[in-house]
Structure 1
Amino acid sequence: MKTKKIIGLLSITFLMLGLLAACGSDQTSGSKSGEKSIVVGAAMPVFDDKWLSYLYDGIKEYDSEHDNVKVKMVDAKNDAGKQFSQVETFIVQQVDVILINPVETDAVGPMVDAANEADIPVVIVNRMPDEEVMKKIYAYVGSESIEAGTIQMEKVVELLGGKGNVAILNGTLGQESVVNRTKGNKDVLKKNPDMKLVREQTGDYQRSLGMTVMENWIQAGDEIDAIVANNDEMAIGAIMALEEANKRGDIIVAGIDGTIDALEYVKQGKLNISAFQDAYGQGKGAIEAAIKAVNGEKLDNNFINIPFELVTQDNVDEYIKKWEK
């Protein structure tokens, strides 16, 4: 009996050692040179978003092309509390770097603090945090939201000859992009006294909600000369509502992001303006910055800017080519 017990204990010991060895080999799996894989925890706001899907592609493609990089990407389903829990899980898992596209920029501070306490570097992409958080992260990769709102509204003013009624469709409230894109819009309006803001409401960055808000504005009977949306999806929703009500007429509709759907609308003359934001480039830039953080590389500036570019029917073809792979 004693012999059997000893054999049993030895068997369990060897099994445990085998599991540990397997775990160790898993850390280097996929790495041709045998070095330890860099594990990136990517906390994303929502998977069900057309524009963000291109940003995710930039991250995923880099991941697939580098054997020593493993990306764990999670969906917060637009819930800031859930995103915080996901970041905490990454910390417990001891990932090498955390990449965050915040659900709400106001809520990202505690996530960064928790990662800092665990000595895990943080890269934020697309939605810029405040100055205090910027001091605590390795890098922010994205575009100047205020620039997008500025060039968008300047073109609207030009198209209307400096006079008209404007309605603004806001994205998801609480996000930096909404605050600053809208600020860019309103700063331009202040410089043009014959331009009047008559309506402003959130469409939560969604096409369906943009359509619903536009339907309500049509029913209210307001005279609107331009719809200026914080993103293309809401702009397309507004166009759909206008067309369905036979109210499209000469109303100017402007979006932001330059998604492939929006560019087709621009090409057809349905969407007058978009401001191209390179989603794929932001995703790729963010994962590249994350790897630099793990490798201890120093940056001259932790704001990696990818500029917005105005898109009209005159130049839309060059932006459509950017999405062709």
Structure 2
Amino acid sequence: MRVNKKVFLMILSLVMVIMLAACGGGEGASSEGSSGDKKVIGVSLSSVSDTFRTFIYDAMNEEASNHPDFEFVFSDAQEDSSRQMNQVENFITRGVDAIIFMPVDTVAAPDIVSKVNEASIPIIVVNQTFDAVDQATAFVGSSSIESGLLQMEEVAKQLDGKGSIAIIDGMLGHEAQIKRTEGNMEIIEQNPDMEVVLQGTGEWSRNQGMNLMENWLQAGKQIDAVVANNDEMAIGALLAIEAAGKLDEIVVAGIDASPDALELLQAGKLDVTVFQDATGQASTSVQLAVKAANGEEVETVMIPFQLVTPDNVDEFIGEN
């Protein structure tokens, strides 16, 4: 069953990229035909290039199908904050009834929220928070620092509180990268026999995580655990470690509890991940946007992270 879902998601991702490319990076791709009788919700996604955000897109579309009186228009910023600003400005010009906003970075996000507020359009921020997020109509997501704390606490437990740690950051400047690593460092500071010996960015990518890990292994420095800001980078690191014959020597940890990560946990290769509820974040953001577009009051919704280890991995199969 899991294989079929991965195949479906791969096909969905390809179709989605074609649709978003066809929109020229501005107007977005509609989930159904336009109708003057329908209210319109613009969805600004930071990117659809990694597994987790594909899950969010998929779940948003599924929830959108429950609201036939609304038209949902999707845009992909491709990790470009200027592109995202232009796309949101297009939504404003079009006069959409609400906007769902997954920010590219924490720097441009406040200006985007301010522009939407000036246009008196409700804006629901999803997944990534930032300093001015309280200026948005509502936020739906999880506390990123919590995932970093849970992740490194389990790594510390598996290492008996001592060892040399390599941290793989996500794309620098992303709220998730900043806060997840901050949570990691907080736990390391509580364990004086643990030390960060290597740190670099894998830009949320499996290939980048693998390349980084290969370079680190070639450098010959002692590494007892690799702690990555997401599963894709952790899996890339794991592949490099396995190829070097060192999988039994290094603890590997990720975040997101993606299907691939859960399979590797079951296989005894990955040591820990942290479940981030993509479906919960996506569906709730759509529900709040619909309510806000209808003039109803909405509030921020926080969805907790959950630690996943070989002991409880079966509970999370099929959840994302």
TM-score w.r.t. structure 2 length? 0.87
8 A contact 2:59–2:283 mirrored in 1: yes
Structure 2, unmatched stretches of 5+, are 1-33
Amino acid at match of 2:35: D
Q: Superposed, which structure 2 residues align to 1:138-149 within 5 Å?
A: 138-149=137-148
Name the structure 1 match of 2:173.
174
Instruction: Please say if 1:123 is aligned against 2:124.
Output: yes
Name the structure 2 match of 1:87.
88
Taking every aligned residue pair, what percent have the same amino acid on both sides?
46
Amino acid at match of 2:59: G
Q: Superposed, which structure 2 residues align to 1:305-324 within 5 Å?
A: 305-323=302-320
Instruction: Please say if 1:276 is aligned against 2:275.
Output: yes
The offset of 1:126, in angstroms, is 0.4
Distance 1:209 1:153 in 2: 21
The offset of 1:127, in angstroms, is 0.5
Q: How many residues align?
A: 287
Q: Secondary structure at the match of 2:116?
A: helix
Deviation per residue, 1:157-189 (Å, 9 max, x gap) = 000011100010000111111111000000000
Deviation per residue, 1:86-127 (Å, 9 max, x gap) = 001111111111111111122111111111111111111000
Please identify the structure whose Cα radius of gyration is greater: 1
Amino acid at match of 1:55: I
Q: Superposed, which structure 2 residues align to 1:1-325 within 5 Å?
A: 26-28=35-37, 37-130=38-131, 133-299=132-298, 302-323=299-320
Distance 1:67 1:297 in 2: 18
Name the structure 2 match of 1:3.
none
Amino acid at match of 1:194: D
Amino acid at match of 1:308: F
Distance 1:283 1:68 in 2: 19
Structure 1, unmatched stretches of 5+, are 1-24, 29-36
Name the structure 1 match of 2:12.
none
Amino acid at match of 2:71: K
Q: Secondary structure at the match of 1:127?
A: coil
Distance 1:67 1:119 in 2: 24
TM-score w.r.t. structure 1 length? 0.86
Range moving further from structure 2, 58-67 or 211-220: 58-67
Amino acid at match of 2:304: P
Distance 2:220 2:315 in 1: 38
8 A contact 2:259–2:318 mirrored in 1: no
Distance 2:302 2:58 in 1: 19
Deviation per residue, 1:220-260 (Å, 9 max, x gap) = 11100000000000000000111122222221000000111
8 A contact 2:110–2:133 mirrored in 1: no
Range moving further from structure 2, 52-61 or 186-195: 52-61
8 A contact 1:56–1:280 mirrored in 2: no
Q: Secondary structure at the match of 2:43?
A: strand
The offset of 1:322, in angstroms, is 2.1
Distance 1:321 1:41 in 2: 28
> Where in structure 1 do 4 or more consecutive aligned residues deviate above 6 Å?
none
Range moving further from structure 2, 288-297 or 73-82: 288-297
8 A contact 1:102–1:108 mirrored in 2: yes
